[in-house]
Structures are given as C-alpha cells and as structure tokens.
Amino acid sequence: MRLPLPAFVRRHARATLRRFGLDVVRFRPDVHALARRARLLAEHRVDVVLDVGANEGQYALELRQLGYRGRITSFEPLARPFAVLDERARADPEASWRAIHAALGERDGTTTIHVAGNSYSSSILPMLDRHVASAPASRFVGDEVVRVLDARRALLEHAQGRPFLKLDVQGFEATILRAAGDALDRFVGVQLEMSLVPLYEGEVLLRGLLDLLEQRRFQLMALEPGFADAATGQLLQVDGVFFR
C-alpha cells in the first residue's frame, strides 16, 4: 500500500524545483491548460483539425501527445518550416496528417510574408517595436513570397466530420475569420492566438476577436497563456479555445 507524501514534503520539493525554474503540476482539466484542451476536444467529439499557421507542426505533435488520433490538415506557407512540417506529417503514426504548402487569405494568389528570426513570429503584417523589445529573436530578417489559398474554399474542402479550426497567424486572425464566411459555420470549435496589446500593425486585439467569434455563435471555454515579456512579467498574448 502506497501512502501519500506528507504535505510539507511536497511543498519543500516544489520549492526546490522552482529555484531551478521548474514546477510540477497535476495533469488534470481543472488545473492544466493542455489537459483542459484535450478534454474539450474529446467532449465535443472533434475528429478533424485544421491547423492554419502550422510552422513546423508543433501544435499537431502536441495534439498527438494529448491522445488525439483524428485527421489533421496543416497549412504553412514558408519554405523552411514547411519542409520540417511535411516530414513530420509523413511520419505520423496515425497516417492521417497532411501538410499543405500555403497560407489562407481573402482570395487565391500570392503575398509577401516578413520572416522572423525565430520563424514562428513571421507575419504578413509589420511587427511593432513592443514585440521586438519583448522578444529580440522575433525581429524580421527577410521577406518571402508565398502562395495564398482562398480561406472559404480551403476550409470548405477540408472541414468534414466534426472539424476544429486552429489559427496561429500572427495578427492575421480576424482577416481569415472574415474571409472564411459561411465555411466557419461547419466548425464545432476554434482556437486562436489573441494579443492583449498591439504587437503587429493593424491586428485586431482580444476584445475584437471575442466579439467576432461571439457573433458567429462561438463561446469562449478556455484560455491558455502565451507570449509574455520575460523582463516585466506582462502577458502579451493568450490562446482562446471556443466551442459552439
């Protein structure tokens, strides 16, 4: 019979870990953001995930680690991260992960993306000084012309079953949501990055994105902490998880 550790032992162990920048948290939906997301996806019977702004496939890999076994379609426009994404998708043990080399937008065509030094902060929109000051590695280092697919048509093509839309497009979220039009009605849920302060020129902030999704009958069910300023501790971005 295993006895639980005394409370003072747990507190001491946790305090020791925190001195080294580490922590231990129970992996339960009531206390852990990833466990909460996994429970929500299962509760709403999601069986298709459209991963827009996939970078190297980090989000899809995380879903697999959380136990999601359904279909994933990832969209990534930049050549270097797409090469990694495509290799990971081809190696998917579920054989149900597809990578598409394109961005989504208002219409088919091409556009220029500003490429960030850290890759995942790359954006169609100009980056503001606040972002660079908080994350110097995110500074733009070049431009790349990329293919764009009509968002409505692309989403309609891939949104079978009970689909869930993930957007991580660095300030371009509102543009894609509006361009999606009635295709958004097919989705049972949406996850997107929302800025609390302006980080990209012309982006719609958290309050505007909340209003936009509420108008489309999505309810906010979880928030996941995102990008923060390490020097000040200020939280700059969160991920919102919405379901109908």
70-80: pLDDT as tens digits: 999 999 999 99
Structural domain boundaries, residue 91 = 29-101+151-243
The full DSSP string for 199-213 is -BTT---HHHHHHHH
167-221: pLDDT as tens digits: 999 999 999 999 999 999 999 999 999 999 999 999 999 999 999 999 999 999 9
Measured CA to CA, the distance from residue 229 to residue 231 in angstroms comes to 5
Measured CA to CA, the distance from residue 102 to residue 84 in angstroms comes to 14
The answer to whether residue 127 is domain-embedded is no
Residue 3 makes CB contacts below 8 A (sequence gap 6+) with none
The answer to whether residue 224 is domain-embedded is yes
The model's confidence at residue 28, banded by pLDDT at 50, 70 and 90, is confident
Residue 21 makes CB contacts below 8 A (sequence gap 6+) with none
Enter the tokens of residue 77.
């426009």
**Looking at residue 30, what is its pLDDT?**
72
SS3 47: coil
The answer to whether residue 41 is domain-embedded is yes
The answer to whether residue 109 is domain-embedded is no
The model's confidence at residue 39, banded by pLDDT at 50, 70 and 90, is very high
Residue burial 156-190, b: 16+ Cβ < 10 Å; e: rest: eebbeebbbbbbbbbbbbbbbbebbeebbebbbbb
The answer to whether residue 141 is domain-embedded is no
Measured CA to CA, the distance from residue 30 to residue 47 in angstroms comes to 23
Q: Residue 97: count other Cβ atoms within 10 Å of its Cβ.
A: 25
The amino acid at 117 = G
Enter the tokens of residue 63.
């879903």
Handedness of CA 145, 176, 240, 40 (dihedral sign): negative
The CATH number linked to 84 is 3.40.50.150
As for how many domains the chain has, the answer is 1
Measured CA to CA, the distance from residue 86 to residue 118 in angstroms comes to 19
The answer to whether residue 221 is domain-embedded is yes
The answer to whether residue 129 is domain-embedded is no
DSSP class of residue 235 equals B
Q: Are 132 and 141 in contact (CB under 8 A)?
A: no
Helices 79-90, 58-65: axis angle to 10 degrees equals 30
Whole-number average pLDDT of the chain: 93
Q: What is the pTM of this model?
A: 0.89
The answer to whether residue 5 is domain-embedded is no
Percentage with pLDDT > 90 across the chain: 86
